[in-house]
Amino acid sequence: MALNWPQPGDAVDLGRVDEVLDGLANWCEATALLPDQETRQRLQRQVTAVREKREQLLSPLLIAIIGGTGVGKSSLLNALAGGPIAAASARRPTTQQVTVYLHEDNLLALEPGEWAAAQVRHQRAELLDRILIDTPDYDSVDLSHRRRMQTVLALADVVIFVTTREKYADLAGAEWLRQYREGRLFLFVLNRADEGVPPEVVPDLRRHLAELGFAGAEPLVLSATAALAA
């Protein structure tokens, strides 16, 4: 059986992907070339795993924003959105619950519950296929905040960890981050750069990240409030 394989650089045609997967599944079932049933079952499991990944292509990208008290998570979320969609306040903590921000045309329905306590619909066209999730402060004295944040972490495709020159040293006690390294992209933001960043901060932050298993991660030094004002 000849399979029409997509070539590198081709646009993703999910119909073709389905055809290839169906062909592989049928071949695994019918071919006499496989040496034993165990090999056949292993290949069938791999095809099933690829099907599950293919389904994820239809899902919006889940972007979780996490960090400690007062690091500017909500301000960064607004900067990512290109304008205010989240409440940011000098009163801390502003984020006391998980809040999901999604486009009004997004068909995904997340029922408010233990982790998704609130939904905000917006009209930002550039975020149609992205869902931003603002999480409670992980360093809160309320332990339920961290529990909700970690539930979101397990679901996220992208995690943006926000810290500041005053808070980054808290990473020394963030061993819980290790269990989430696999299966998602991590970005580390040193926020509030407009207030000044001493020269030793970024190298020290890199060291903390390497100790947590994120060797090579390069912190993004920025100011969310300045980006919003620009």
Residue 142 has pLDDT above 50, yes or no: yes
Whole-number pLDDT of residue 150: 87
Taking a C-beta distance cutoff of 8 angstroms, is the pair 125, 146 a contact? Answer: no
Strand 61-67: give its sheet, edge to edge: 118-122, 99-103, 130-134, 61-67, 158-163, 185-190, 220-221
Residue 181 has pLDDT above 80, yes or no: yes
Hey, what CATH class is 61-229 in? alpha beta
Q: How sure is the predictor about 159, in pLDDT bands with cuts at 50, 70 and 90?
A: very high
Taking a C-beta distance cutoff of 8 angstroms, is the pair 146, 177 a contact? Answer: no
Taking a C-beta distance cutoff of 8 angstroms, is the pair 158, 62 a contact? Answer: yes
Q: What is the pLDDT of residues 14-62, one digit of tens each?
A: 677 778 888 888 888 887 777 788 888 888 888 887 777 666 666 788 8
For the chain, the domains span 14-56, 61-229
| pTM for the whole structure | 0.73
